[in-house]
Amino acid sequence: MVNHAIERVGYKMSLSSSIKALLVCPLCKGVLDIREESQEIWCRADGLAYPIRDDIPVMLADEARTLTTDERTEH
């Protein structure tokens, strides 16, 4: 059985490109910045960082942290 949600990258698991393409911000439906190194998914428009826990995106506003001003404007 093939799991399309994750793919193995070295010793870490990573969100597959097909899943990344489907993800949008649950609040504004905007574009997301997936930050696998910090295990977060950023929505700069809303200023939120959604956690990725155990390779699962937790797309709940109550679970997100607020991005800093620097994070929100960084390119």
Quote the pLDDT of residue 48: 98
Over residues 50-65, the mean pLDDT reads: 95
Computed over every residue of the chain, the mean pLDDT equals 85
Residue among 25, 51, 21 at smallest CA distance from 36:
51
Domain 24-73 has CATH 2.20.25.10: yes
Name the pLDDT band for 33 (thresholds 50, 70, 90): very high
pTM for the structure as a whole = 0.78
Beta strands 40-43 and 33-35 are antiparallel
Please say if the pLDDT value at position 1 is more than 80: no
Domain residue ranges of the chain, discontinuous segments joined by +: 24-73
Quote the pLDDT of residue 26: 97
